[in-house]
């Protein structure tokens, strides 16, 4: 009789132990997801990016390429909406700050959120420029110049291939 009781207690304890372990594992899993979200970073290998992106997008976004001027699909886009990173979906620009710079590339005088865009010194091709990258995934967007219009005087010169536009219809406003 005593033996059976001892087995039961042991069984119960074992169940509790397993249950706690499971809960703890779940907590760890949730924490990992939250940490990733907080840091807001997307890190992938070139092989992974190459699988996800179109070859021309991969060349611009991941290999610092430049699309030929006056060819990009958003150069003349005057629709109201938001421009996201074509690689990771981070919000980069809004149509409110888009203007025609005459350069042949989509141009904005401000970022949607400054923290979403990294500025990196770029001395390639014998020029001194400021490269702009997506802060979330490190993808190349274009360059930043100081010859933009008011109120910032800045020109974010961006490849259409680096962007993903989502239109805001008037009924959403």
Residues lying near Zn ion in the complex (CB under 5 A): 85, 87-88, 90, 134, 136-137, 139
| Tokens at 121, concatenated | 């010194």
DSSP for 12-74? HHHHHHHHHHHHHHHHHHHHHHHHHHHHT-----HHHHHHHS-HHHHHHHHH---PPTT-STT
134 an active-site residue? Answer: no
Torsion sign over Cα 102, 153, 99, 62: positive
- When computed from its CA atoms, the radius of gyration of the chain, rounded to whole angstroms, is 25
Nearer to Zn ion, 22 or 63 (CB): 63
Which phi and psi angles does 46 have, rounded to 5°?
-60, -40
Neighbours of 129 (CB within 10 A): 16
Min dist CB 30 to Zn ion, Å, is 24
Nearer to Zn ion, 95 or 116 (CB): 116
Nearer to Zn ion, 115 or 125 (CB): 115
Distance of CA 101 to the CA centre of its chain: 25
Q: H or E segment at 104?
A: none
Q: Which residues are the active-site residues?
A: 157
């Amino acid at each position: 009789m005593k033996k059976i009781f001892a087995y039961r207690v042991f069984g119960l304890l074992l169940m509790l132990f397993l249950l706690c372990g499971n809960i703890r594992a779940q907590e760890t899993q949730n924490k990992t997801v939250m940490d990733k979200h907080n840091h807001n970073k997307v890190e992938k290998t070139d092989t992974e990016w190459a699988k996800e992106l179109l070859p021309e997008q991969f060349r611009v976004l991941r290999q610092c390429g430049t699309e030929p001027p006056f060819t990009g699909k958003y150069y003349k886009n005057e629709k109201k909406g938001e421009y996201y990173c074509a690689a990771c979906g981070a919000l980069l620009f809004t149509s409110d700050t888009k203007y025609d710079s005459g350069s042949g590339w989509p141009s904005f005088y401000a970022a949607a959120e400054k923290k979403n865009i990294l500025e990196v010194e770029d001395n390639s091709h014998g020029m001194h420029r400021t490269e702009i990258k997506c802060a979330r995934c490190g993808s190349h967007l274009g360059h930043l110049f100081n010859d933009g219009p008011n109120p910032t005087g800045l020109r974010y010169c961006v490849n259409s291939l680096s962007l993903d536009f989502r239109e805001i219809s008037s009924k959403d406003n």
